[in-house]
A and B are shown apart, each in its own frame.
Chain A
Amino acid sequence: MMVAVASIPPFETFYAEHAAEVLALLRRRVGRERADDAFQETFLRALRAYDRLHHGAHLRAWVLTIATRVAIDTHRRAGEPTDELPDLAHSDGRPAYEELAFLTDTLPSKERAAVVLRYGYDLDYEQIAAALDSSAEAARQATSSGVRRLRRRIT
């Protein structure tokens, strides 16, 4: 079977395509004042992880997840509550994670992001690790511990 692999664009193209949406998300999540620093942090994390990507599919979901993680870190540093949903906006139709939302809403944020990226977007652990700013092994563990938690709740 032929598998179409989405190629990974030069970083400039990726940045130009997603910068405005990332900034809008961050302004909603951390406020205008803190959004600038969070914006820079988001794209530096993406840049750091960019050569670990294996394909260019779901780059939008990937960078919005990074932005969400940065927003959570920003709140955490300020000692504010962090239990918000991943905020993957909906301009390209019904996002895949919605199908998992009823299950994943109650997971801790890191496990939720890992489960959604793994099973909602079919990203591999390297890419999830890049989004979560952690190792592939840690991403695998967050995913499987999220799945275990879901199983306990369902059964």
Chain B
Amino acid sequence: MTVPTDLDRRFREAAARSQLLDAAYDVIDSELGPLLAAVTDRGLARISFDPEPEQELESLALLAGRRVLRSPRALDETRSELDDYFGGRRTAFDLALDMRGLPEFTLRVLSELAKVPYGQTATYGELAERAGNPRASRAVGTVMNRNRIPIVLPCHRVVGSSGDLVGYGGGLERKERLLRLEGAML
């Protein structure tokens, strides 16, 4: 016997309304394939390109607490902003972000990253300089690689000093597609 879809959906909605969840997540369809997105009471905490739910759930539990539940309704706002972004109707996100647990340098880099405008790029070195440590371009690369909220924190806009794409947590093909979507010069 399985639980009827309607009953399952109603429980997941009630759980989200109850404010008892540490994190709610859903798998969202996008131009780049399915994305796992998770929110906490602080805001959007995670976007993952290759959702291996089991591993993602464990790391969400470590970040926010064990009460992690799939609850599509809780992701309505995230889903709608992502839809608009992929549809070319949105160039900036208005979502609160959950940045807990990140070291200070990482926060400085990510806050500089958030200022790189839609359709433009910055190099790893430029971002390091703006974050106050011009020689830390390699460390900036690591921060980009570990970005928990890609797309919304636009690490795809960070490229090598000669303009090459260098790398992307979600794969270079996705990085290129995001930059093309934004009309960035490649």
Q: Which A positions have Cβ atoms within 8 angstroms of B?
A: 8-13, 15, 19-20, 23-24, 36, 39-40, 43-44, 47-48, 50-51
Are B2 and A47 closer than 8 Å at their CB atoms?
no
Report A-chain residues with C-beta under 8 Å of the C-beta of B119.
none
A-B contact pairs, 7 of them (CB 8 A): A10-B58, A12-B57, A12-B70, A13-B54, A20-B3, A48-B20, A51-B65
Cβ of A11: which chain B residues have Cβ within 8 Å of it? 21, 66-69
Total residues of chain B contacting the partner, CB 8 A: 25
Complex Cα gap A19–B12 (Å):
12
- A48 to chain B: which residues have CB within 8 Å? 18, 20
Q: Which residue in A8, A39, A44, A51 is a CB contact (below 8 Å) of B15?
A: A44
Tell yes or no: B76 within 8 A of A by CB. Answer: no
Contacts of B68 in A (CB 8 A): 10-12
A10-B68, A20-B1, A51-B65 in contact; A36/B20 too (CB < 8 A)? no
Known: A11-B68, A12-B70, A19-B8. A47 touches B61 (CB 8 A): no
Is there an interface contact between B69 and A23, defined as CB atoms closer than 8 Å? Answer: no
